[in-house]
Amino acid sequence: MNKKTATKLLIRKHKDFLKSIDDEEIRKLIDKNSMITGGSIVSLLLNEKVNDYDYYFTDQETCRRVAEYFVKKYNDAHPEGAGKRPGTGARIRPRVEVEEDTGRVRVIVKSQGLAGDKTDGEYQFFESRPSEEGEEFVEGVTAPVESMVSDADDIPAGELEGDGKKEPYRVIFMTSNAITLSNGVQLVIRFYGNPKEIHKNYDFVHCTNYWLSEDQRLYLNQPALEAILSKTLSYVGSLYPIASVIRTRKFLKRGWHINAGQYLKMCFQVSELNLKDINVLDDQLIGVDCAYFYQVIENLKERMIEDPDFKIEMPYLISIIDRIF
C-alpha cells in the first residue's frame, strides 16, 4: 500500500473513532493532540490486516483526560460490585480510577475482582498486552489482577472491526499502561509526548513511522521503510529489553529476520538491569505477551512475604519458570 492510501485509511479510522466521543472537549483534545504509530502502519504498508491502532498523546493533560473519560464510561456502564465471582458464578466489578503523579498517568483498580469473564470458566492472568496483539487478546481469556480489568466477555476477534450490534469503541480491556477499545483501537497512556519522545521507548526501528492528528499527515522515515521492505528487525534500544527479546518470536513467525548483533544489543541492555530486584523484574515483564510471567512475579512476591530474607537466585527462578511454563 502506498503512502497516500495508508494516510486516507488512517484519517478514516480517526474520524470514525472521533464520532464515538460524546464529549466535545475530549473529542477536540484527541483530534489535536494524538498520534498513531507502531504496528498498524507497518501492516498498512505491507497490505496486511491491522490488528489494532495504537494511539499516543502529545501532552500529559490530554493523556489524563482521555483516560478519565474512558474510565468513567467503564465505571458508569459497570457499577461497582455488580456481577459474578469466578468459580462461584459471582462476577465482581471493581472500581477503576485514573492516577497521576510524577509525570505518569496510570489506570488503577481500587479492589480486586473480575470485570469480564468467559463461559468456559477458564482464566489466565494478564498484566498487559503488546499493541500488535489486540486480536490475539480478544480471542484469549482474561482474569483478575490488581492493575487490569476486562470486559471482553468472549468477544470474537472480528468485533475489533465492529459488527454494529454493540456500542463502538467501548472499553474491553484496561491495564495500568493502556486502554483497549473495541473496533481495533488501543490508547497507550504509559508514555506521552512528541513522536521523538514516544519512539525513545520503542525497540525496533520498523515501528517508528507515525501519523499526526494535528496535520493529518503520515510521516515515514527511511530506516523504518528499509526495515519493513526487507522484513529485518533492527534494534534501536528500549526501556524494556527483556520484552523485546521475547517479542522477536512473534516477528520470526511472520517471516521477519534478525541477525546476532541485534540480540547482542538487547543482551547488553538486559545486563544493565538488576533483575534480582523484584520491582525491576516486575516492571520489565509488564509488557511481555505471556500470561505465565504474571504467575512468576506473584510467586516470587509471595515467597518474599513468607521469608523476608529471601533473595532471587538463579536455581530457584529456574525451578519456578520450569514449573509454571
CA distance 57 to 159: 25
- At residue 224, does pLDDT exceed 60? yes
pLDDT in tens, 232-255: 999 988 888 888 898 898 899 999
CA distance 284 to 286: 6
What pLDDT shows up at residue 92? 53
pLDDT in tens, 78-92: 776 544 444 444 445
Nearest to 97 by CA among 75, 112, 66: 75
Tell the residue number behind the cell numbers 479510522, with chain if given: 13
CA distance 108 to 189: 12
- At residue 15, does pLDDT exceed 70? yes
Q: What's the sign of the alpha-carbon dihedral 79, 80, 84, 86?
A: positive
For 181, the enclosing helix (H) or strand (E) is strand 178-181
**Cell representation of residue 169:** 469503541
**Cell representation of residue 31:** 483530534
Percent of the chain with pLDDT over 90: 39
What pLDDT shows up at residue 291? 56
Please answer whether residues 129 and 107 qualify as being in contact, where contact means their C-beta atoms are separated by less than 8 angstroms: no
For 117, the enclosing helix (H) or strand (E) is none
Give CA separation, 199 vs 26, 48, 191, in Å.
24, 23, 10
In the chain, what are the domain boundaries?
3-192, 231-325
C-alpha dihedral, 40 to 42 to 48 to 51, nearest 10°: -20
- At residue 132, does pLDDT exceed 50? no
Q: What's the sign of the alpha-carbon dihedral 152, 154, 156, 157?
A: positive
What pLDDT shows up at residue 286? 64
Please answer whether residues 236 and 204 qualify as being in contact, where contact means their C-beta atoms are separated by less than 8 angstroms: yes
Provide DSSP, 262-324: HHHHHHHHHHTS-TTSHHHHHHHHTT-S-THHHHHHHHHHHHHHH-TT----HHHHHHHHHHH
The residue type found at 61 is: E
What pLDDT shows up at residue 323? 84
What pLDDT shows up at residue 287? 57
What backbone phi and psi angles, to 5 degrees, belong to 55? -95, 135
pLDDT in tens, 279-288: 888 878 765 5
Residue 297 binned pLDDT confidence (cut-offs 50, 70, 90): confident
Residue 53 binned pLDDT confidence (cut-offs 50, 70, 90): very high
CA distance 255 to 304: 42
pLDDT in tens, 143-180: 223 344 444 433 333 444 554 567 889 988 877 778 88
Tell the residue number behind the cell numbers 458508569, with chain if given: 76
- At residue 112, does pLDDT exceed 70? no
For 192, the enclosing helix (H) or strand (E) is strand 185-192
More confidently predicted of 187 and 100: 187
Q: What is the mean pLDDT of the chain?
A: 78
**Cell representation of residue 216:** 493529518
Predicted TM-score (pTM) of the model is 0.75
More confidently predicted of 281 and 292: 281
pLDDT in tens, 119-131: 222 222 223 333 3
Tell the residue number behind the cell numbers 526501528, with chain if given: 205
**Cell representation of residue 289:** 505477551
56-65, 115-124, 295-304: least confident range: 115-124
Average pLDDT, stretch 12-37? 95
What pLDDT shows up at residue 292? 63
- At residue 290, does pLDDT exceed 60? no
